[in-house]
């Protein structure tokens, strides 16, 4: 039986460590602060933001929720970011995506002070991650490394294949794996003979954003699978393709009209030695790593040891 890498347990462990760091910083009169900017009221974004604000409260961080209207302009958002950059009581700035169409997302993210860029999206932080310098790394790729390390899965000398080349997950995940001495191959939608390459992977990171795309025939027996994908399927035929005979998923589908699946076909997990489930895997690390990045930013901004 393959081993299930429990994201909830690992996230809880990281949050405990963050809470301890927050208490230690309090002895120096420091309370890390995070500003969360939520534009409009997209239901999914509201849920995500609520979880982030609650995590701050649970761990002792200061948080501030700022809610511009959905009609906000790029100029107004840039002015807000400038104000947040200037505030000494804030160590992190997070802008919940997606933003309304009229807002220039790239300009806004580039305007955030790199020292407060707790999402790790700024080009300066991307460059620091590539160079192996102290940086605020994107939360999801950082969570991938935490899962592997805390699960005692070897990275050094292993062949890691990353399927997906986004600036948010694929590229930084590949770079962080490289810094852990893995041999890394990056694949994407234009890669030829993709299955031949994925079958060489000791560690396969699936981050291509296509439900159940990685099949069992694409997995090397005994590989570790890190499934970053979060895809919602509401079509009955598609559900049957992935979850036929799964009573638990059937009940969930009938109740909600949809279920969540990763980028890996459930049958592929049986070929692996270990895997992250969806839900319950990498996704749960994202908020934990955001909290860790906020504390890291607080220390870095003050020239404290990491």
How many other β-carbons are positioned within 10 Å of the β-carbon of residue 207? 26
Cis amide leading into 149 (omega within 30): no
Region 138-154 average pLDDT: 98
Region 28-45 average pLDDT: 92
Q: What is the pLDDT of residue 254?
A: 93
In this predicted structure, the answer to whether residue 44 has a pLDDT above a threshold of 80 is no
Q: Please say whether the dihedral angle defined by the alpha carbons of residues 137, 135, 115 and 123, taken in this order, is positive or negative.
A: negative
Query: In which band, very low, low, confident or very high, does the pLDDT at 43 lie, cut at 50, 70 and 90?
Result: confident
Q: What is the pLDDT of residue 196?
A: 98
Q: What is the pLDDT of residue 46?
A: 85
Average pLDDT, the chain: 96
Q: Are the CB atoms for 227 and 206 separated by under 8 Å?
A: yes
Q: What is the pLDDT of residue 42?
A: 79
Instruction: Convert the pLDDT of each residue in 172-197 to its tens digit.
Output: 999 999 999 999 999 998 999 999 99
Residues 6+ apart with CB under 8 A from 159: 182, 183, 184, 185, 200, 201, 202, 203
Region 291-303 average pLDDT: 97
Q: What is the pLDDT of residue 237?
A: 93
Rounded-to-integer distance, Cα 155 and Cα 149, Å: 8
Residue 137, sorted as left (phi over 0), alpha (psi -120 to 50) or beta, turns out to be beta
Rounded-to-integer distance, Cα 295 and Cα 3, Å: 31
pTM of the model: 0.95
How many other β-carbons are positioned within 10 Å of the β-carbon of residue 234? 11
Q: Are the CB atoms for 5 and 276 separated by under 8 Å?
A: yes
Residues serving a catalytic function are 52, 96, 119
Of 212, 263, 216, 204, the C-alpha closest to 237 is 212
Instruction: Convert the pLDDT of each residue in 2-26 to its tens digit.
Output: 999 999 999 999 999 999 999 999 9
Instruction: Convert the pLDDT of each residue in 215-265 to its tens digit.
Output: 999 999 999 999 999 999 999 999 999 999 999 999 999 999 999 999 999
In this predicted structure, the answer to whether residue 63 has a pLDDT above a threshold of 90 is yes
DSSP secondary structure string for all residues of 42-55: -HHHHHHHHHHHHH
| Residue where the block lists tokens 């969570």 | 143
Q: What is the pLDDT of residue 48?
A: 85
Collapsing DSSP to helix, strand or coil, 257 comes out as coil
How many other β-carbons are positioned within 10 Å of the β-carbon of residue 201? 24
- Residue ranges and CATH numbers for the domains of the chain are 27-122 (3.40.50.10860), 139-285 (3.40.50.720)
Region 168-175 average pLDDT: 97
Distances (CA, A) of 180 to 16, 42, 131, 149, 225: 24, 38, 13, 10, 17
% residues pLDDT > 90 (the chain): 95
Instruction: Convert the pLDDT of each residue in 90-134 to its tens digit.
Output: 999 999 999 999 999 999 999 999 999 999 999 999 999 999 999
Q: What is the pLDDT of residue 47?
A: 85
Beta bridge partners of 95: 37
Instruction: Convert the pLDDT of each residue in 255-295 to its tens digit.
Output: 999 999 999 999 999 999 999 999 999 999 999 999 999 99
Q: What is the pLDDT of residue 45?
A: 83
Q: What is the pLDDT of residue 267?
A: 96
Q: Are the CB atoms for 242 and 265 separated by under 8 Å?
A: yes
Give the H/E segment covering residue 226: strand 224-227
What are the φ/ψ torsions at residue 263 (nearest 5 degrees)? Answer: -90, 0
């Amino acid at each position: 039986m393959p081993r299930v890498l429990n994201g909830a347990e690992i996230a809880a462990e990281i949050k405990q460590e963050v809470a301890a760091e927050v208490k230690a910083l309090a002895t120096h009169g420091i309370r890390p602060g995070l500003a969360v900017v939520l534009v409009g009221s997209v239901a999914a974004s509201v849920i995500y933001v609520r979880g982030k604000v609650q995590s701050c409260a649970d761990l002792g961080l200061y948080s501030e929720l700022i809610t511009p209207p959905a009609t906000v302009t790029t100029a107004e958002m840039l002015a807000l970011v400038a104000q947040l950059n200037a505030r000494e009581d804030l160590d992190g700035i997070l802008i919940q995506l997606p933003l309304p169409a009229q807002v220039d997302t790239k300009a806004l993210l580039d305007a955030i002070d790199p020292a407060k860029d707790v999402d790790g999206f700024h080009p300066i932080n991307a460059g620091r991650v590539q160079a192996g310098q102290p940086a605020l790394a994107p939360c999801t790729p950082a969570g991938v490394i935490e899962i592997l390390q805390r699960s005692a899965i070897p990275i050094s000398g292993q062949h890691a294949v990353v399927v997906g080349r986004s600036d948010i997950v694929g590229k930084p995940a590949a770079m962080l794996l490289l810094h852990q001495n893995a041999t890394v191959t990056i694949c994407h939608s234009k890669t030829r003979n993709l299955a031949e390459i994925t079958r060489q992977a000791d560690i396969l990171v699936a981050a291509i954003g296509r439900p159940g795309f990685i099949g069992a025939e694409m997995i090397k027996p005994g590989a570790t699978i890190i499934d970053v994908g979060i895809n919602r399927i509401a079509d009955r035929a598609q559900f049957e393709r992935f979850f036929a005979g799964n009573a638990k998923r059937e009940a969930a589908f009938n109740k909600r009209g949809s279920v969540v699946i990763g980028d890996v076909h459930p049958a592929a997990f049986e070929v692996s030695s270990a895997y992250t489930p969806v839900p319950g895997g990498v996704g749960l690390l994202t908020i934990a790593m955001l909290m860790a990045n906020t504390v890291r930013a607080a220390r870095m901004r003050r020239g404290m040891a990491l």
